[in-house]
Amino acid sequence: MSMTALKGDTAFQARSLFRSLLRQSSQFAAYNFREYAKRRTRDAFREHRAETEEGKVQELMQKGLKELQVLKRQTVVSQFFQLDRLVVEGGKSGKQTGDRNDIIRQTTE
């Protein structure tokens, strides 16, 4: 196998890992955890975008795979503790009432 094909395969694996991490991150029930996981994934891949040393790339890929396994476990656990959707997520909205213009969450179920 040529070196070019090997690098292409590694690039494909890295893109596949990136998509898997983002896909798994979107499975979090809580908005803040979901957005943090997506942001952390994008930042980590941006930080190491220019890495060319083969040993370091393989080390980073292994670390990414471990992170993917952690995300899978955490998303399952987070789905046990679902909360109401936040206003920033869309869907349900608050209603201002009272003297201090407090927002009271309304549930329509």
pLDDT of residue 107: 56
- How far is the C-alpha of 8 from the C-alpha of 45, rounded, in Å? 17
Give 55-82 pLDDT, tens digit per residue. 999 999 999 999 999 999 999 998 887 7
pLDDT of residue 67: 96
Count of CB atoms situated within 10 Å of the CB of 33: 16
pLDDT of residue 3: 40
pLDDT of residue 84: 73
Along the chain (109 residues), what's the average pLDDT of each consecutive run of 10 residues? 57 94 92 93 94 92 96 90 74 53 56
Question: Which SS3 state, helix, strand or coil, does residue 105 take?
Answer: strand
The structure's pTM equals: 0.71
- How far is the C-alpha of 8 from the C-alpha of 80, rounded, in Å? 40
Q: How many residues does the chain have?
A: 109
